[in-house]
């Protein structure tokens, strides 16, 4: 399927928003709370699975080539950061959210919330597994799986759940306006 210029602009916009979200952060040990995941929710909910995935891959690509748009910088060595798994989870989570929304008949708050929760579960799955692997095998900092779950999931989850609810409320209210403004991009056409 051919990608239109409008689609590329929208993907780039959500990549930029995710980058901005990286700099709005509350520092907590290992996994800072940021607004990145809020824009992952919006990308999946409003762009559809394909464009949401592209937007997050663009974000990853720009950061990995050296532009400091991740929470702690950028460059290829960022792969060695304990939190890199969350970034991988952003791309896959955005795709999952978009796919769920595309397959819904009713675009209700509960459906958006469930889609966002599914995407968030993907983000945390990749994030916590990578955190555990990284700290134990790359950083040589012995950590138990239960401690990785505590610092990588239990500490930051409350803020992300709040963002999940906010994104579901906003997405439910703006999805019809997005479809009217960009009928070619309508998620029903994906």
Q: Two tokens at 132?
A: 């555990």
Q: Output the pLDDT for position 180.
A: 65
Percent of the chain predicted with pLDDT > 70: 92
- Mean pLDDT of all residues belonging to the chain: 91
- Whether 58 shows a pLDDT value over 50: the answer reads yes
- Whether 184 shows a pLDDT value over 70: the answer reads no
- Whether 167 shows a pLDDT value over 60: the answer reads yes
Average pLDDT, integer, range 51-74:
96
Q: Output the pLDDT for position 181.
A: 67
Q: What are phi and psi of 123, to 5 degrees?
A: -55, -50
The Cα-based distances of 133 to 6, 53, 141 in angstroms read 39, 24, 10
Average pLDDT, integer, range 154-161:
94
Average pLDDT, integer, range 93-98:
98
- Whether 157 shows a pLDDT value over 90: the answer reads yes
This prediction's pTM: 0.90
Average pLDDT, integer, range 88-95:
98
- Contacts with 19 (C-beta within 8 Å, 6 or more apart), sequence order: 59, 62, 63, 69
């Amino acid at each position: 399927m051919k990608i239109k210029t409008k689609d590329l602009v929208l993907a780039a916009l959500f990549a930029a928003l995710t980058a901005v979200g990286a700099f709005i952060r509350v520092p907590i040990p290992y996994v800072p709370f940021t607004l990145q995941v809020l824009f992952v929710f919006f990308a999946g909910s409003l762009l559809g699975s394909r464009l949401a995935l592209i937007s997050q891959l663009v974000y990853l690509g720009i950061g990995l080539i050296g532009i400091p748009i991740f929470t702690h910088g950028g460059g290829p060595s960022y792969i060695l950061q304990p939190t890199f798994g969350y970034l991988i989870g952003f791309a896959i989570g955005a795709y999952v959210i978009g796919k769920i929304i595309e397959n819904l008949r009713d675009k209700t708050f509960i459906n958006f919330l469930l889609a966002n929760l599914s995407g968030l579960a993907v983000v945390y799955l990749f994030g916590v597994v990578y955190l555990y692997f990284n700290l134990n095998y790359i950083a040589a900092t012995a950590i138990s799986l239960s401690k990785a779950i505590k610092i990588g999931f239990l500490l930051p989850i409350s803020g992300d759940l709040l963002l999940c609810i906010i994104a579901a409320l906003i997405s439910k209210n703006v999805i019809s306006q997005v479809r009217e403004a960009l009928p070619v991009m309508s998620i029903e056409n994906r």
